[in-house]
Chain A
């Protein structure tokens, strides 16, 4: 009897496996029209001729996705357990470090969740299987990020103020309307604009500025859980960057009519994203007790060097130009963090984080990082704020600020080249006046006024009586603020607790 010759089972290559498990699982529709099955991919004006041209360089399949995501989570949760068991919160650089984390926790997980929902929408409604599968992976990633951020920071919630009601706060508190409105804006756009807004402009152009220096800062300040979830999330981010880059190139390659639409979205979303992460500038330069790099340095490294000198030269091939307001952002790198932190400082009585005058060590660092601009801010505002402190007071702005109709940040940004004059821009639409903080936000408003007239501006909502009552204490209750959450850091509950924990450590030792 002859043994039947069995061909050895050949393992598929990565390319073949990917193709078999994504593109080959798709099927042509037989009893519904394509436009009925995918009703959202035409109205924005983007022309697509061949969805099969969408490539995912990561060539992920469900099997490999699950395998590596599970491993990432295992590693992260091992760190979280070890940190909690060893009372890691005691070895942070200082309790004041947590202020940066409070802003992060209050603002970011809700944004991740929004991203999860909208990528899930794309995973259903994009016509091509490659694009759908990459969106599905990102949707699951974003949910994981929200979960890991919440888990990570839940340990700190046992010891520090400001983190107990992050979910309610993200919906209500004035500075958190900045990230919320950003994602609302993107999520109410069509799927292609969402891809340029989040996938490309946020994930590829700007996310490194948010995560990499910040997570490296966490490492430097003894915050292992944040460093670990940050790097864990960021490893997914590499895929998200790829999806964004693939998305923009796909649109540009499919039809040359897509170019002006994509350019306008890029112009809009660069500025929206840049204004959003200005909060990070203030956190990096003023809220980390030990700093890795300045905002200015991070901006030069991650944006000017990598994006302007790298990416945009590549995109020039398709006719894409750098974002229209990029020069404004470049000149602002010298002053952005000073302005943002000064905003946070004078309104922190209505916030769930604390602020304080930079101490001698901070000031020395700021003087070195910003030799041109720090001396101006020191002499004009910080010396005076310190003097108020020395006399037993604490300066808080007694009123409510004018907000930008688009980015929703208090209008504290200044005219280019004139750091003492706030920038005021106005537009009249249907007889009503609207204010914006910069040429960038003004342009965005005037491009789609119908969208931004609906902005839920926290200050206006307070004045309409929609935020718990007419006085600041009423509003604070409605925000979910508790005593000890906001205000001045020196003498705060966090600072006193921190001192007590370390005093008792010494005694026991």
Chain B
């Protein structure tokens, strides 16, 4: 439904991908772990290899004292509601991660 307005009402998104250059925003959700109250929002290069991305997460989630970094090696990844088996050497983009995509896992 269009906005009811006194004149044409059309504005660009304030968080469109082009504002981040070669990067994009990625949401990462450790489902079922309330220690992290919400999914995290990160800015990563689209070309970043999936394996490097997982490496960053292994550091990030040490904020949970019960976290075992190697556990991320055997989780089922879900990107935008699709279960996937990412290729660690391929880029995040090639693995199907888009701007503001939701990458989720459970341990």
Q: Which residues of A does B touch, CB under 8 Å? A: 39-40, 43-45, 190, 339, 342-343, 346, 380-381, 384, 387-388, 395-403, 410-412, 419-422, 424, 426, 430, 432-435, 447-448, 450-451, 453-457, 459-460, 463-464
**Among A457, A459, A463, residue most surrounded by chain B Cβ atoms (within 10 Å):** A463
Asked if B35 and A384 sit within 8 Å, CB to CB, the answer is yes
Q: Evaluate whether A401 and B9 lie within 8 angstroms (CB atoms) in the complex, with A433-B100, A448-B1, A464-B19 already known.
A: no
10 residue pairs A–B, Cβ–Cβ below 8 Å = A44-B4, A45-B4, A342-B37, A388-B65, A397-B36, A402-B27, A402-B41, A432-B99, A433-B99, A448-B1
Q: How large is the interface on B (under 10, 10 to 19, 20 to 34, 35 or more residues)?
A: 35 or more
Complex interface: chain A residues within 8 A of B1 (CB):
447-448
B53 CB, nearest partner CB in chain A, Å: 14
Q: How far is the CB of B60 from chain A (nearest CB, A)?
A: 6
Chain A residue nearest in CB terms to B11: A454
Docked Cα-Cα span, A49 to B35, in Å, equals 56
Q: What 0/1 pattern do residues 23 to 35 of B give for CB contact below 8 A with A? A: 0010101011011
With A435-B100, A453-B11 as contacts: A411 and B3 at CB distance below 8 Å = no
The distance from the CB of A474 to the nearest CB of chain B, in whole angstroms, is: 15
Cβ-based interface call for B72 (8 A): no
B interface, over-half SS = loop
* Known contacts A384-B65, A397-B63, A457-B14; is-contact A448 B3 (Cβ 8 Å): yes
Q: Tell me how far the C-beta of B41 lies from the nearest C-beta in chain A, rounded to whole angstroms.
A: 5
Residues of B within 8 A of A433 (CB): 80, 98-101
Instruction: State whether A401 and B39 are in contact (beta carbons under 8 Å apart), knowing that A45-B4, A424-B29, A451-B3 are contacts in the complex.
Output: yes
Q: Are A453 and B12 in contact (CB under 8 A)?
A: yes
Complex CA distance for A181 and B77, rounded to whole angstroms: 34
Distance in angstroms from B50 CB to nearest chain A CB is: 19
Report the Cα distance A190→B7, complex, angstroms.
12
A399 close to B60 (CB less than 8 A): yes
